[in-house]
Structure 1
Amino acid sequence: MIRRTLLKALFIIPFLAVLLMQHSSLALAKTDNFTDLVEKVAFAIQEDSQWTGPTSGPKSLAGKQIIFIASDLRNDGVSSVAKGMTNAITELDWNLRLLDGNGSKLRQAAAINRALALQPDGIVLGGIDAKYHEQALQKAKALGITVIGWHAVNDLNNHPELGLFTNITTNAEEVGAIAAALAIVDAKEYAKVVIFTDSNYSIAQLKAQSMASTIDQCKRCELLSIEDIPLDNIANELPTTIARLLKQYPRQITHFLVINDLYIDFAIPSLIASGQNQHLLPKSISAGDGSVEAYHRIRNQSFQLATVPEPLFMQGWQIVDEFNRAFNRLPPSGYNAPVHLIVNENVEAIDRNIGVYDPKNSYREAYKRIWK
């Protein structure tokens, strides 16, 4: 059964099929781990067209006021979740307001305090670390305001100790692991990687730890460096960091593993400025969240090999559904979207006009049936 699944997956992923054939003897001689990684990567590349989320729940309540607080609306992931929510509430008699934290913890805290003063029915923490704002969230709980996180903590659970009804995210460890697995497969088990992360966000740290652990399990691979660069300071720090790394590890780095596509946006000018042939420069793999620029690079096979996108619009709809469950005094749905990998072979499935990974699994119809 495993072999049939693998062959079916590889049939639609030519570069992985060739890679497996070229190195099957090496994999079998050493361990089955490489074959397992190839299968996991191939499986992640396939899109599940069947809705596996909730099919039952409460009818929608009317007249709810929701405030979406974005960590930074310049982040495509955060803004796309907000767009998904905006689309979803057209089906309901709700109002949605956006506040922007502009990538700064101080501004995010100010936005949370402003939201609390407005006393809405619900607040969304869009990419904001809930633990850092625990005191404000406890105030929200005391005011009877339902708070839902998107990437606010590391897992998909309710966190009453933080005042969170639930948190929407894909499994950060799985996301990091599949990104690193692709690097290993692409480098034929000789990956030499640099990881970029932001220690201000616990979910980013978890992705980075998972990537590092996966690389560490590959005997012929090497983790050269972990670079901690805040997302709100990428433009200032990344150019000198890239220049230093290329000088420190001349023609050694096979892949950059990053926790967000934004790092690649700002790495490319420095990579071009190095004057090296693009084919000799590191390939980048992003463990989130899928951006228009990332898809363009992947489509053109320019600097970026892959991204692990989240179904951002769908998560916006899920947040609305979770609020409705909370308002009806029901528990969260517990739904967690499967990890998906976008590479050159399947990037055309991304609608160029939308620029967001939007699964064709009829989730909108499923949620509308629940609410009505």
Structure 2
Amino acid sequence: MLIKRFLTIIAIILSSYASYSLANNSPENYLDYAIKKVEQATKSSQVWDGPKDGPKLVNNKKIIFVASDLRNGGVYGVAKGISEAISNLDWQLKFIDSRGSEIRQAAGLREAISFQPDAIILGGIDALRHKTILEQAKKQGIVVVGWHAAELAGGNDELGLYTNITTDPLEVAEVAALLAVVNSKGKAKAIVFTDPNYKIASIKARVMVDTLKKCSTCKVLELKPLALDQIAEKMPNTLNTLWNSYGENITYFLTINDLYIDYAIPSFESRLEESRGIPRNISAGDGSKAAYKRISQQQFQLATVPEPLYLQGWQIIDELNRAFSNHPPSGYSTPIHLVIPDNVDDLITSESSGIYDPKNGYRDVYLKIWGGE
């Protein structure tokens, strides 16, 4: 079954490039294709495109959120969105923080099951790594919903997930790479960073590489593996090695998230002091407060692709209510939004929060659904 799941992911990747056939006839056509995709991704939708109906609220439910690490901005943002949604309900919510430890994640899941809740939410926890424990939850009739718990959005019976909430990682990766094509006018020369320890990171990086290769006048200089837990230690030497190899030929760094750019800043500053150029940096994920600041100041980062964390928290509660009502998942996946200097100020709700929160009325819509209106 795991092999089948992996083959499904590969098939999706391959099928996502079917639309490239016409766009790839010439550099001009491909650039036009890239421009249209990027323009669409940078638009800030003011209209709710998610579910507008569903089951009325089921009362008196006990929910436990098991977090991979509440110090992680994404996990914390989703947790805050869940708390906000539940404050309008009569449900009980408990948090268990694994503090970044896989051992604590396993212990936290076992603890959560022992409380016999109605549902468990996996906050950034890899469901595959804890499949055996999740089977126990399934046997006890506990609904499990994940946030970034599997590679793709949607249900996963094999892992015991009613549904998994995430933006489409393949779309995120494609749009990030297409921005480099557009920004360079089809002349990008890029290094792509990834973490080889995570399948989804490798898949995203491969999509970025393949997207750039579709641009016949662009060039992928190197796909660079660098584990997330080694970035702080190894990034300076890694950058020195890359500059020794490619020098000023590097015009773009594409990364799977903002952390790579965070730890590259000291090296960038040193090069600027020496009057040497630095690449333009694009992150295919996250949308951290630091990234927004860099993009707004047009310093060290060109773009990032954030997730609407509060919205996803509300969606998780709606999906749980559908499960409690024996309804199928909504099937909704939030659209891709590319944050660049032109739209960064519109997409940040406030300087203090640094959270991308679409102004599309999703809170009111969900409250109406749960109220049976």
TM-score category by the smaller chain?
0.7 to 0.9
- CA distance in 2 between counterparts of 1:281 and 1:273 reads 10
- CA distance in 2 between counterparts of 1:293 and 1:260 reads 12
Q: Does 1:353 align with 2:352?
A: yes
Question: 1:362 and 1:279, CA in 2 relative to 1: closer, same or farther beyond 3 A?
Answer: farther
Q: Which amino acid aligns with 2:218?
A: C
Structure 1 unmatched ranges of 5 or more = 1-26
One of 322, 334, 338 as aligned partner of 1:325 = 322
Task: Say which is worse superposed, 98-107 or 171-180, in terms of deviation.
Answer: 98-107
What is the CA deviation profile of residues 105-125 of structure 1, one whole-angstrom value per residue up to 9, with x for unaligned ones? 333223223322333221112
Q: Which residue of 1 aligns with 2:278?
A: 281
- CA distance in 1 between counterparts of 2:102 and 2:241 reads 28
Q: Which residue of 2 aligns with 1:48?
A: 45
- CA distance in 2 between counterparts of 1:225 and 1:51 reads 40
Q: CA offset at residue 247 of structure 1?
A: 2.3
Q: Does 1:116 align with 2:107?
A: no
- CA distance in 1 between counterparts of 2:355 and 2:275 reads 27
TM-score (norm. length: structure 2) = 0.88
Question: 1:118 and 1:301, CA in 2 relative to 1: closer, same or farther beyond 3 A?
Answer: same
Question: 1:69 and 1:199, CA in 2 relative to 1: closer, same or farther beyond 3 A?
Answer: farther
Q: Which residue of 2 aligns with 1:304?
A: 301
Q: Does 1:127 align with 2:124?
A: yes
Q: Does 1:196 align with 2:199?
A: no
Q: Which residue of 1 aligns with 2:256?
A: 259
Q: Does 1:77 align with 2:74?
A: yes
> Secondary structure, in 3 states, of the residue corresponding to 1:319?
helix
Question: 1:76 and 1:126, CA in 2 relative to 1: closer, same or farther beyond 3 A?
Answer: same
The alignment covers a number of residue pairs equal to 346
Q: Is the 8 A contact 1:129 1:202 kept in 2?
A: no
- CA distance in 2 between counterparts of 1:279 and 1:269 reads 14
Q: Does 1:364 align with 2:357?
A: no
- CA distance in 1 between counterparts of 2:133 and 2:80 reads 25
Q: CA offset at residue 277 of structure 1?
A: 5.9
TM-score (norm. length: structure 1) = 0.88
Structure 2 unmatched ranges of 5 or more = 1-23
- CA distance in 2 between counterparts of 1:275 and 1:165 reads 50
Task: Say which is worse superposed, 302-311 or 227-236, in terms of deviation.
Answer: 227-236
Question: 1:233 and 1:106, CA in 2 relative to 1: closer, same or farther beyond 3 A?
Answer: farther
- CA distance in 2 between counterparts of 1:67 and 1:197 reads 32
One of 307, 313, 317 as aligned partner of 1:316 = 313
Question: 1:30 and 1:57, CA in 2 relative to 1: closer, same or farther beyond 3 A?
Answer: closer
Q: Is the 8 A contact 1:158 1:164 kept in 2?
A: yes
Q: How large is the Cα RMSD of the aligned pairs?
A: 1.9
Task: Say which is worse superposed, 196-205 or 263-272, in terms of deviation.
Answer: 196-205
Q: Which residue of 1 aligns with 2:207?
A: 210
Percent identity over the alignment is 50
Question: 1:65 and 1:29, CA in 2 relative to 1: closer, same or farther beyond 3 A?
Answer: closer
